[in-house]
């Protein structure tokens, strides 16, 4: 897989011809639907193509090369589908791969990152919790955020083990989920935290369950609205914002590398969007290796 970086002018000319093309939104699974919700509210005239790489979720359990491989391959696939801009709506993929993707893809990219800066500005106790995947927490990008904004604020960083998997199966409120969340959140409260950074786009779907546990003791920091506003600025910068068309109301196009049933359920229940989910195959270097090993395993068993 090779990529040829383009000059800024070439990048603009490559996409500026079609402002009515869709915005591509990509996540390891269903979490990016929280970003899609914010984009639809902030930019109602934009059409959206959403891809969930659910066959390989969660990325938080994957190595860095796998995440980079999937991020670039899905970005290229979205371009082939006509996307004019790409939102990497996954904290793990952004933290690990967005710099590489920006060099390789000739369309504007917007990433996501945990809200360390707003948490540092808002916390009155100067103690804040962070829920994120292990890959995000160990990334250089996240460590740089802490170095820049956490000088006088203590951040309690907690890997959200099994939370992504819960959202992926549409579990946003079971007794088991609440027990898991309680184990993560109560130590933060005991340590004096008054703010919680939701460092994964899956986690806003757990807001109700979190509120049941912490009440009003924690201010929740969800950066999805800020991401949508940044996307608007980027589209304006490149002359790519869609023009209003009262006669045109296009529902998002939903795609999944998995079976899509949970994606359809979550979109209907939490976003009030009734839409089919297309199954798409997006092979890449690392998943080809996985498929080869699986085929060998099946041959041995047979």
Residues with a catalytic annotation lie at: 90, 200
Cα separation, 40 vs 273, whole angstroms: 11
Torsion of CA 267, 240, 16, 12, to 10 degrees: -100
For every residue of 134-199, DSSP letters joined together read HHHHHSHHHHHHHHHH-TTSEEEEEE-TTHHHHHHTT-SS-HHHHHHHHHHHHHHHHTT--EEEE-
List the strands of the sheet with 48-52, edge to edge: 109-111, 85-88, 23-27, 48-52, 253-256, 277-279
Burial of 271 (C-beta count, 10 Å sphere; 0-12/13-18/19+): middle
- What is the C-alpha to C-alpha distance for residues 166 and 169, in angstroms, rounded to an integer? 5
Helix (H, G, I), strand (E, B) or coil at 27: strand
By three-state DSSP, how is residue 131 classified? strand
Helix H segments across 6-133? 8-15, 33-42, 64-80, 91-104, 116-122
State the residue for tokens 């955020």. Answer: 145
SS3 track for 75-88? HHHHHHCCCCEEEE
Tally DSSP H helices, then E strands, for the chain: 13, 10
């Amino acid at each position: 897989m090779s990529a040829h970086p383009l000059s800024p002018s070439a990048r603009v000319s490559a996409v500026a011809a079609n402002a009515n093309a869709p915005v591509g939104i990509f996540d390891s699974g269903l979490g990016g639907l929280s970003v899609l919700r914010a984009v639809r509210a902030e930019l109602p005239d934009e059409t959206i193509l959403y891809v969930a790489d659910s066959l390989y979720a969660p990325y938080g359990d994957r190595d860095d090369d796998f995440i980079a491989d999937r991020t670039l391959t899905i970005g290229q696939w979205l371009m082939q589908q006509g996307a004019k801009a790409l939102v990497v709506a996954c904290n793990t993929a952004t933290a690990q791969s967005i710099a590489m993707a920006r060099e390789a893809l000739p369309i504007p990219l917007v990433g996501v990152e945990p809200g360390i800066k707003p948490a540092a500005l808002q916390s009155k106790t100067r103690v804040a919790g962070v829920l994120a995947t292990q890959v995000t927490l160990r990334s250089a990008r996240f460590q740089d955020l802490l170095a820049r904004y956490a000088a006088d604020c203590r951040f309690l960083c907690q890997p959200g083990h099994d939370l992504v998997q819960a959202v992926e199966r549409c579990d946003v409120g079971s007794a088991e989920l609440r027990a898991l969340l309680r184990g993560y959140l109560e130590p933060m409260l005991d340590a004096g935290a008054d703010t919680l950074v939701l460092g994964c786009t899956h986690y806003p779907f757990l807001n109700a369950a979190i509120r049941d546990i912490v009440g009003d003791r924690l201010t929740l920091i969800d950066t999805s609205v800020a991401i949508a506003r940044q996307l608007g600025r980027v589209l304006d910068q490149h002359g790519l914002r869609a023009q209003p068309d009262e006669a045109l109301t296009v529902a998002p196009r939903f795609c999944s590398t998995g079976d899509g049933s949970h994606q359809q359920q979550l979109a209907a229940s939490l976003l009030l969007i009734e839409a089919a989910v297309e199954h798409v195959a997006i092979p890449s270097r690392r998943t080809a290796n996985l498929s080869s090993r699986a085929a060998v395993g099946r041959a041995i068993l047979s």
